[in-house]
Amino acid sequence: MKDKLRFFGRSSLPRVIPARWWRWEDVLLLLLLAGVLYLPGLGRIPLFDRDEPRFAVAAREMMTRHNFVVPYFNGVLRPDKPPVIYWLMDISYTLFGIHTLAARLPSALCAALTLLVVYGLAGRRFGRATGVLAALMLSVSALYFAEARLATADATMLLFTTVAMAGAWKAWDGGAPVYAVASLPGHARAASPRQPAAPTAGAASISTWGVWIFWLAIAAGILTKGVTPLFVFSTMITLSLATGAWREAWRQWRARTPLRRLATLPDLLWRMIHRGNWRWWRALHPEWGFPLLLALLAPWFVAAWWQTHGRLIELMLRQNLLQRTTSGLQHHGEPPGFYLGVIWGIFWPWSVLLVPAGYHAIRRMRGRDGLVVDPAPYRFLLAWIIPAWIIFELIVTKMVQYVLPLFIPLIILCADTLIQSFNHLTDVLAAGWFGVARWVWLGVWLVLAGLLAGGAWWCFGRQQPATFFVIAPTAAALAAVGIAGAVCWNRSAWPYATVLTFGLALLIADTVTLPHIPALQLNRRAAAAMRPWMKKGFQPAAAGYIEPSLVFYCGRRIDLFSDGPALLGTVPFSTKPPSSRRSVPPPTGAAPAAGVPAAVLIPHHRVRATPGGEHRPALARAGSAPSTVPRFCVLVDPSVLRYLRRHHIRYFTHGYFTGWQLAKARPARLTLLTNVHP
């Protein structure tokens, strides 16, 4: 039986855990896995959603402006995020050049480092096997894998948040290795399962270096995305209140009449706070930690306030603190319960373990098993999950990546459930419904594979068979994941087989499928066609097609217009007679047709707005000399093209582009035109 406790025993049994529980081969394995999963195809797949190019362009503009304090996107102040992610991208740009791979590299590196931190978090308290399995499972979970390959701030913020939570956890359990299972029946008991000894920061407290890293990680998290303190301090406050001596006050309050309960409710809240378990906070030295935190944050905030006269900080607080909590910012308002619904997809494939892992954690924390359990690790993990989850469900603006830091405690609980089940120390996975879940698992994977293959055939099978054949391997790999998991279901090989097969499917998607779908390269191809015109002095612009990735691939600032009237309000065009149906005039030097007056280009200052609100440039009088006008190459969508034709605007067409508009997930057909003859 002691062999089974090799990963679960505590000091009540003879020490079977070596002083250094971790192994170098585990670290190398995780780094190799991260490199294989997160680096291939990183620069060949175009920037996807709107956030990626905004971060990438803002970092590029920091370099070109030589201003590493205030971020701008396309010449406009960007108050969305603090500067750490831009600094990391600038370092990558300096080392490797300004391109897609360099923009995404910081996220990939931070995701790899987070796996090592998770290995340490889980392994130190639940044993080496749980640490390795938790890191392996996290590496291929759906949302974590996606964020590790995106040029956004979420993977970087997750690293700093996890490091800070590691420091808080070390202070909570006193710094010594604390393993979940204390002893077996028949052995000396370390503590009563009903009244476990409260964790202290006594003999083996967190080191001074650990305290410094804790406060530095919080500061870096604030300067990356700002939400790190929410996860850290909500967990610490919940732990202090939950483990305090408030039960007697609660019993006294419950014994009173309903009217007296209402009258004495403030007194109850005060007594719960006053009797909370706050001593363990001393290990983190808040008396100098909070001043250190302010000293680390002040330089950037003061510099940003001074350079923008407070505008950047004001917009940042209004947008991220007020609008996100009270309104659906950027059309992302969702009702409470949103994350409870989407967690089954974004945590896939391990969402099948969420219910058993939650039940397992509650049983271990309450001591309802024959094993004498130290509930401290489970209390910390549940305190990490529950309060932050409630806060994000109450916030109006909801995006799936907001709950990414909660993946860490969830994956640790899932890994602990699996390891203890394999060692016959828990029976939560022996339930009949979990055995039936094998067929649900297989069905989900087969449905995903069928939808991918069927959608590829419907969209590309006849017109673009080559595209279908690069999508088919990914569909086959997804089906293989389901089959392998169903064969190994609820055995010790199941999680490892899933990591291996799903990781292979993701690798095929990154190297074979996504880089070779021409429809995804629309913005790259359009920007490549615009660059020769920019070299000739044409100003790039886009109308009706607002894609931030176009700004990144053009390599410079471009004018973005929402529709045709906005385009004509800035870009000077000439008009043509209503009887003419030609969108491109005759070549230079050709004589105009009989009865058709020669159209003369209008300078920008002569563009006027009609009473109806439509911007319609007027023709100069025949014979007048044309003024020098700004030259534009404009990428327009069909709606803007129809507007120009309807209002008899003369333009010069130079190419057509079809593909997929990634930000809005819809097909797009674009036309490249200029306002003057080249």
Residue 191 lies in a domain: no
412 in helix, strand or coil?
helix
Closest CA to 617 of 604, 630, 631: 604
Angle between helices 432-460 and 465-487 (to 10 degrees): 170
pLDDT of residue 200: 40
- Terminal Cα-to-Cα distance of the chain (whole angstroms): 84
Average pLDDT over residues 150-158: 95
**Cα–Cα distance between 253 and 661 in angstroms, integer?**
60
Which secondary structure element, helix H or strand E, spans residue 77, and what is its range?
Answer: strand 76-77
Which pair of tokens denotes residue 619? 């023709």
**187 in any annotated domain:** no
pLDDT at 309: 92
Picking from 18, 90, 17, 16, the residue whose alpha carbon sits closest to that of residue 55 is: 90
What pLDDT, on the 0 to 100 scale, is given for residue 330? 63
- Phi, psi (5° rounding) for residue 439? -75, -30
Domain for residue 122, yes or no?
yes
- Report the distance separating Cα 637 and Cα 646, nearest Å: 14
Strands 607-609 and 666-674: unpaired
Checking if the pLDDT of 262 tops 90, the result is no
Final residue in a domain of this structure, among 492, 516, 540: 516
Q: Residue holding tokens 């909801």?
A: 398
Same structural domain, 371 and 266? yes
Does 551 share its domain with 615?
Answer: yes
| pLDDT, mean of residues 74-101 | 94
Compute the distance between CA of residue 222 and CA of residue 324 in angstroms, rounded to an integer: 16
Backbone angles phi, psi at 335, to 5 degrees: -75, 165
Token pair 């385009």: residue: 567
Residue 590 lies in a domain: no
Strands 72-73 and 76-77: antiparallel
- Whether residues 352 and 283 share a domain: the answer is yes
501 CB-contact burial (10 Å; exposed 0-12 / middle 13-18 / buried 19+): buried
- DSSP code per residue over 280-330: GGGGG-HHHHHHHHHHHHHHHHHHHHHHHTTHHHHHHHIIIIIIHHHS-GG
pLDDT of 201 above 70: no
**Of residues 582 and 120, which shows the higher confidence score?**
120
| pLDDT, position 302 | 95
Do 441 and 424 share a structural domain? no
Residue for token pair 């920008």: 604
Give the 3-state secondary structure of residue 435. helix
Helix (H) or strand (E) holding 153: none
Asked if 393 and 478 sit in the same domain, the reply is: no
Average pLDDT over residues 230-255: 85
Q: Is residue 194 part of a domain?
A: no
Q: Is residue 333 part of a domain?
A: no
Residue 245: predicted pLDDT: 75
Domain boundary residue, one of 516, 547, 566: 516
Tell me whether residue 591 is in a domain: no
- The pLDDT of residue 459 is 81
In 3D space, the residue among 131, 135, 129 whose CA is nearest the CA of residue 115 turns out to be 135
CA 293, 296, 297, 302 torsion-angle sign = positive
Helical H segments across 66-127, by residue range: 84-96, 100-126
Rounded to whole angstroms, the Cα distance separating 127 from 360 reads: 17
pLDDT of residue 177: 47
- Residues 624 and 627: their CA atoms lie apart, in Å, by 9
Last residue of a domain, one of 516, 532, 565: 516
Q: Both 450 and 310 in a single domain?
A: no
Each residue of 536-578: pLDDT tens digit? 999 999 999 988 999 999 999 999 999 999 999 899 988 876 6
Q: pLDDT tens digit string along 439-495? A: 999 999 999 999 999 988 888 877 888 888 999 999 999 999 999 999 999 899 999
Q: Is residue 193 included in any domain, yes or no?
A: no
Q: Are residues 261 and 228 in the same domain?
A: yes
Amino acid at 36: V
Instruction: Domain of residue 459: give its range.
Output: 433-516
Q: What is the pLDDT of residues 611-633, one digit of tens each?
A: 333 333 433 333 333 457 789 99
What domain count does the chain have? 3
Query: Do both 442 and 542 map to the same domain?
Result: no
Same domain, 411 and 464: no
Are 571 and 482 members of one domain? no
Residues 107 and 153 placed together within one structural domain of the fold:
yes
Q: Same structural domain for residues 345 and 452?
A: no
